[in-house]
Amino acid sequence: MKAPVWIVIAIILVGAAVGVYLVRQKPSYIVTLSPGAGTDSAAVYAQRAAELEERLEATKAVLDRIQALDRPAVRRRIAHMEEQLEGLRAALREWREAHDAFGVGEAYRECLLLYGSAQAACHALSFDTLPE
């Protein structure tokens, strides 16, 4: 009866030691930079953001011409699009100011996601220019 008790106690002690070791380990960040995360890509994304802004202004002009700017749904989509563009500009500023590989990688991923989201919002807004 004593042997199984000592085996259980030994397993508990070994488990506690492994747990303490794992808790005390400092988490390490694995940074993997995409080949597209260079400074040229930042310029390309800045150009894409400018093109999206021009597209938004053109869409607003069309919506104003067909008198659709008064609809609340259209105003919300325009506000959402403007928020997405502002987020993309902020991510681009962070990308330019990043000094380490982790910061550049995170900013690149954020720009990638925000650009896709802004492009989708702009595409959704363009449907409001169609006749009913």
Say what the pLDDT of residue 20 is. 84
Instruction: State the pLDDT confidence band at 94, using cuts at 50, 70 and 90.
Output: confident
Say what the pLDDT of residue 86 is. 92
Q: In this structure, is residue 24 part of a structural domain?
A: no
Q: In this structure, is residue 116 part of a structural domain?
A: yes
What is the distance of C-alpha 117 from the center of its chain? 9
Count of C-beta atoms within a 10 Å radius of residue 84 = 22
In this structure, are residues 47 and 55 in contact, taking their beta carbons and an 8 Å threshold? no
Instruction: State the pLDDT confidence band at 104, using cuts at 50, 70 and 90.
Output: confident
* 97-101: average pLDDT: 73
* 71-93: average pLDDT: 89
List the domain range (segments joined by +) for residue 101.
39-129
Query: What is the number of domains present in the chain?
Result: 1
Query: Mean pLDDT of all residues in the chain?
Result: 82
